Structure 1
Amino acid sequence: MHCHLLIPGLFPPFRPETRNTLRDLSLPALVTLLARGSQKTLPDGSMDEWLCRTFGVEKRHDWPVAAFTLLANGGNPGSDFWLLAEPVHLQLQRDRLVLADSGNLDITQEEANSLTAALNEHFADEGLSFFPTRAGHWHLRLAHPPAHLKTHSLETAVGRNIRNILPSGPDGKRWHSILNETQMLLHRHPVNEAREERGLLPVNSIWPWGGGVLPSNLTPHFVHIWADSALTRGLAAATDTPCANVPETAVEWLHATQGRSHHLVVLDALRTPALYGDVHLWRETLLHLEKDWFWPLRQALSRDKISRLTLYAFDSGQARSFSVSRTDLWKIWLRKKPLEAYFGEA
């Protein structure tokens, strides 16, 4: 059995002075797997891109992430063109316009319903239909698909000056106008007035990305998928691949796993603390993964319960894989390195 383990946020772009807090981390299983594994730099810039490529999804101007995440949330994308329209807060910092996503906003479903209803009324003539799929994650159906619209993922935009990563291409200017109208509408909405009275950040814009139509005739690549992320679960649904939530530990996963083919597991608990630079939460989460996942998987590999383990790390537009077999564990001449030695490697 070959286990493909996706770990976004494993090598985050923490500042050099911050990395000093990582030097006493005890991660014997993880550093062994990294040292003994065959390392490759992948062409994919993100986990989303890797997933789409692996499942045979064709990229037009964007990867059609919105359609798959809608499918994962019980929606029916049909043959329509969809965008993610993530609710965000934009803050002017001198000459920079910086984005904070819904993870910092604590939006309620009632607020999401009210805000999207106002947007739907305003943009009805434009053929835009907003759906508050979840309180912090909205989808947008376009009656008139754009001829060429290039967007950037929300993860790319969080905490950054967004002026240079706004929607672009021949349809970019139209979307700049749509975003301006959205910001004016949301600025004076009663929901945001009430939020500000309670000391909460207003939801003063949206972030559109991941546009496209749900592709057909995709073929399964894994016999089973274990993931909590919406894109992964949407890809599983589109390919009729059995999918389950990620177990708490690798021991539970091994007990539930059958067969000797390819299995996909997505461990994304490091993604949020890495994205927001929360070193302490990232550190504690990694220690739990070492105990609950990396150590049991190393043991399972050495006992031939799995034939190969491939770890995939996605950070700051870089993707790397580390593939290790049972016999690779005996290559003791491959010296182990501390985890921070992998940070920033291309």
Structure 2
Amino acid sequence: MSAQLWLPALARFETAHPLRRLLARADRLDDGPQGYLAGLAAWFDAPPLLAAGALTRELAAGDAGEASWLCADPAWVEPDMNGARLLACGQMQLSQAEAGAFAEPLVPLLEEQGMQLVLTTPDRWHLRLPPGTAVPDFPAPEQALGENLLQHLPQGPEGRRWRILQNDLQVALHQHPLNAQRRAAGKPPVNSLWLWGAGALPGQVGTGLQGVLSDDPLLRALAARAGIGHRARPSEGQLEDLPPAWLLDLQDLPAYALTGTWAATIESLARRHPLRLNFASGERWEHRPWHRWRFWRGTRA
């Protein structure tokens, strides 16, 4: 199996981007999955309703056990003429002190529902749910970012409890004095929690990968559950080698960040090993070391 790169959407790469030189000489493959969750599902054989809460809590703290968990990520929701939109989630750059202050008024609201709020990291929170809690299929942040939240709230009588809880949490956070300070400092407010990824730890997770290099908690959690290697992505492209069947996750980076050192690293890997380039928009190419001699193909894909 080739070494694997997971890259941002192809349309984000300008025609002069150095990675397009590799594509011009590589073999075009059939398109693969589009998007973050579909990409994860392509590499890992896990239950279709991915228990992101339990997986990421287990990776971080090792105490998920048999309980059911939810991700409860701090979020920024902004009202507009048609309702409200999710503008940011899980990457709010909170300090430990800020996270504790924001969580304080939420704890009693959640305890009334039998739920325990735990701050796994300042930016990633989890809810431990009582046994037997029925949870709707909340969308992942990727599916809701920038969209009207009315389209993504749980519907029907079974969703009423969660709609009321979501509203109570937003009211408590909207009034928090820290938000005025954050806005004055040019930081986004924390005025909601995004609930998603319900479930208990899956019994088994399969994969054809041998390891991952990533800063994404869910990707690394899946790798850990599958029993393969998982390490943080090296900073600024400082990567000496990428073994076969290892995945280098770069899909969260902007395309302009994949120039300079990162582009040189990828070109170095491509000279030594078969390399599959998987774009978040679905396009895929296979590059083999001898492809660099395909001068007749030009320099731009």
TM-score range normalised by the length of the shorter chain? 0.7 to 0.9
The equivalent position to 2:278 in structure 1, one of 293, 301, 312, is 312
Distance 2:7 2:21 in 1: 14
User: Is structure 2 residue 45 aligned with structure 1 residue 56?
Assistant: yes
Rounded to whole Å, the distance in 2 between the matches of 1:134 and 1:157 is 22
Between the aligned partners of 1:89 and 1:298, the Cα distance in structure 2 is 40
Name 2:250's counterpart in structure 1. Answer: 267
Distance 1:210 1:105 in 2: 19
Structure 1 170/3 Cα, relative in aligned 2: closer, same or farther at 3 Å? farther
Look up the match of 1:109. Answer: 96
**Among 286, 309, 313, which residue is 2:258 paired with?**
286
2:201 aligned residue (214, 218, 231): 214
- Corresponding residue SS for 1:73: helix
Report if aligned partners of 1:65, 1:211 keep a CA contact under 8 Å in 2.
Answer: yes
Deviation at 1:205, TM superposition (A): 0.9
**TM-score scaled by length of structure 1:** 0.75
Q: In angstroms, what is the RMSD of aligned CA positions?
A: 3.0
Match of 2:271 among 295, 299, 307: 299
Gaps of 5+ in 1: 13-18, 274-281, 301-305, 339-346
The residue aligned with 1:344 is: none
Deviations 1:65-116 (A, max 9, x none): 2222222323421112222111112211222412222577432211212322
**Aligned-partner Cα distance in 1 for 2:157–2:288:** 48
Q: Which amino acid aligns with 1:262?
A: A
Tell me the percent identity. 25
Q: Give runs of aligned pairs for residues 21-60 of structure 1, distance below 5 A.
A: 22-23=14-15, 25-27=16-18, 29-33=19-23, 36-42=26-32, 44-59=33-48
Q: Partner amino acid for 2:66? A: S
Mapped contact 1:249–1:292 kept (Cα < 8 A): no
Which residue, out of 71, 84, 95, partners 1:84? 71
1:233-282 deviations in Å (ceiling 9; x for gaps): 1122212212222234777332xx56xx5222112452xx4xxxxxxxx4
- Cα separation, 1, equivalents of 2:42 and 2:67: 21
Aligned counterpart, 1:5: 5
Q: Which digits, 9 at most, give the CA deviation of each residue in 1:185-213, with x for residues without a partner? A: 22233443554566654311111122222
Does the C-alpha gap of structure 1 residues 217 and 106 become closer, same or farther in structure 2, counting only changes over 3 Å? closer
Q: What whole-Å deviation, never above 9, does each CA across 1:105-131 have from its counterpart, x for those lacking one?
A: 432211212322321211212122222
Cα separation, partners in 2 of 1:140 and 1:286, compared to 1, 3 Å = same
Quick check: 1:86–1:101 contact (8 Å CA) kept in 2?
no
Q: Which of 88, 94, 97 in structure 1 is aligned with 2:84? A: 97
Other structure's SS at 2:105 match: helix
1:322 aligns with 2:270: no
